[in-house]
Amino acid sequence: MTHHKTTHFGFKQVATEDKVKLVRGVFDSVAEKYDIMNDLMSLGIHRIWKRIAVQLCNVRSGEKVLDLAGGTGDLTTLLEKRAGKDGLCVLADINSEMLRTGRNRLIDRGLTGNIEYAQVNAECLPFEDNTFDCVIIGFGLRNVTDKDAALRSMHQVLKPGGRGLVLEFSHPTDPVTEKVYDFYSFSLLPKIGKFVAKDEDSYRYLAESIRMHPKQAELKTMMENAGFERCEFFNMTQGIVAVHRGYKI
């Protein structure tokens, strides 16, 4: 009897090689409505979370930035201003539908000069070592099958002195927030997904994937194991979201 490697897709166990296809299905399905759903999922607060994460990136004029799982381009829009015309932002996503949506959106905003696009898998980034001053993955790490490989790959493509950041839904730091958040994620969110994006299952998966994501301290340890130094995390909205930051020395 052969044993296939399995991993979690939300709360379900699936064959490791199937997860990429399943995640792709979720994001193909929600690409067009993704921003509206983000507003509903976070009551609009995701815009503030993203701004804070961008501040923590400390991007300066002329730097090279990789926005991994950059999807619809929110972080790239904020980061390219800081990198300036002498800098470069690479908007990268594994999903072609999300990348297309993001690219169209940025072109509509008139942002073309210092942005490039790449369809990549975060676990094995196709860039040379020591390329970027900053790599950020926003609301994407929890969808990656091998998170450790993705963190190692992020570390590899950073220049010495570069910053790696993970912005992700995390684990509430107090029981009241946790109860409210659970009710919202598992009872209300899939219903909103059904109503707005005609897609209850994809939003149930998103809620489950958040629950399966490592807690703050565990993710910090994972970053240290991947080679990052001076790792720290910042909780926002009672730990519903956290930004982790580490440096390549």
pLDDT of 246 strictly over 90: yes
- Average pLDDT over the chain, rounded to whole? 92
- Phi then psi dihedrals of residue 21, to 5 deg: -65, -40
Summarize the confidence of residues 169-193 as an average pLDDT.
91
**Residue 140 belongs to a domain:** yes
Q: What confidence tier does 27 reach under pLDDT thresholds 50, 70, 90?
A: confident
Which tokens is 214 given? 């490592």
Q: Give 231-243 pLDDT, tens digit per residue.
A: 999 999 999 999 9
**Residue 168 belongs to a domain:** yes
Give the DSSP letter string of 6-50.
Answer: EEEETTEEEEHHHHHHHHHHHHHHHGGGHHHHHHHHHTTTHHHHH
The winner for highest mean pLDDT among 17-21, 45-49, 54-58, 99-103 is 54-58
pLDDT of 1 strictly over 80: no
**Residue 195 belongs to a domain:** no
- Three-state secondary-structure class, residue 115: strand
Contact 89, 116 (CB under 8 A): yes
**Residue 229 belongs to a domain:** yes
Quote the number of domains for the chain. 1
pLDDT attached to residue 127:
98
- Tell me the pTM: 0.92
* Secondary structure letter of residue 227 according to DSSP: T
Binding-site sequence positions: 72, 93, 121-122
pLDDT attached to residue 4:
66
Q: What is the pairing mode between strands 229-236 and 241-247?
A: antiparallel
Q: What is the pairing mode between strands 115-119 and 88-93?
A: parallel
Binding-site sequence positions for S-adenosyl-L-methionine: 72, 93, 121-122
Residue 115 sits in a domain whose CATH number is: 3.40.50.150
* Secondary structure letter of residue 225 according to DSSP: H
Q: What confidence tier does 104 reach under pLDDT thresholds 50, 70, 90?
A: very high
- Phi then psi dihedrals of residue 198, to 5 deg: 55, 40
Alpha helices in the chain (DSSP H): 16-30, 34-42, 46-57, 74-83, 96-108, 147-157, 175-183, 189-196, 200-212, 216-225
Q: What confidence tier does 188 reach under pLDDT thresholds 50, 70, 90?
A: confident
pLDDT attached to residue 39:
84
Domain that holds residue 168: 20-173+205-247
Summarize the confidence of residues 55-78 as an average pLDDT.
96
**Residue 185 belongs to a domain:** no
**Residue 60 belongs to a domain:** yes
**Residue 191 belongs to a domain:** no
pLDDT of 3 strictly over 60: no
